[in-house]
Amino acid sequence: MSQPTQIVIASNNEGKLREMTALLSGLGIAVAPQSRWGVDDADETGLSFVENAIIKARHAAGLTGLPAIADDSGIELDILNGAPGIYSARYAGSDASDEDNLNLLIDRVKRTGVQRPGARFQCVMVYLRHARDPTPIIAQGTWEGHIVSEPRGDAGFGYDPVFYVPTHACTSAELQADVKNTISHRGQALRLLLEKLSAILD
């Protein structure tokens, strides 16, 4: 299969788009966000990261007629029974801001009384050749760390300011962008996806 001239990224999240575009740059793959075609975010009605990623990719591919890459990602805390999980982007409500979600997570962690609880970022990324593709290519990345009680750093987005990365002794929001993209859940998933794509995009 020859390489497509264009792939749509099925997201309107500026933070995700910034990271995914950086990871895909220099690979000879032409990518653009779905907003270029006026595509709104899909309704995330799935009950898992993989379901939501496929929903988003099908939505963007269907409205643009292009192959699509989508991810669904979030943070999981065992002390909160895996929450926020797939609801990470709307933890404090459907119209919640990153700050709203972050503050709610901090509050709920403090209520448990557990210091530095374990946490992980999960990312499932999918590639669809077209909207009715019955065999999406799927990749997953997991990033382990723990939660700190006070936000630190001004890089990144979402829960990055409270996600402590033991290997680098700082929060995700304190990492340089190129370092984060090397070790993050999204970076892991996208590199694995690209490995799987290499066979069909030659």
DSSP structure class, residue 157: -
Q: Which residue in this structure is represented by tokens 């899909």?
A: 42
Q: Write the DSSP string, 105-118.
A: HHHHHHHHT-SS-E
Catalytic residue among 40, 43, 72, 160: 72
Q: Closest Cα partner for 71 from 86, 88, 53, 49?
A: 53
- Is residue 78 annotated as a catalytic residue, yes or no? no
Residue 77: strand pairing partners: 119
Measured between alpha carbons, how far is 37 from 155 in angstroms, rounded to an integer?
A: 28
Measured between alpha carbons, how far is 46 from 31 in angstroms, rounded to an integer?
A: 25
The residues assigned a catalytic role are 72
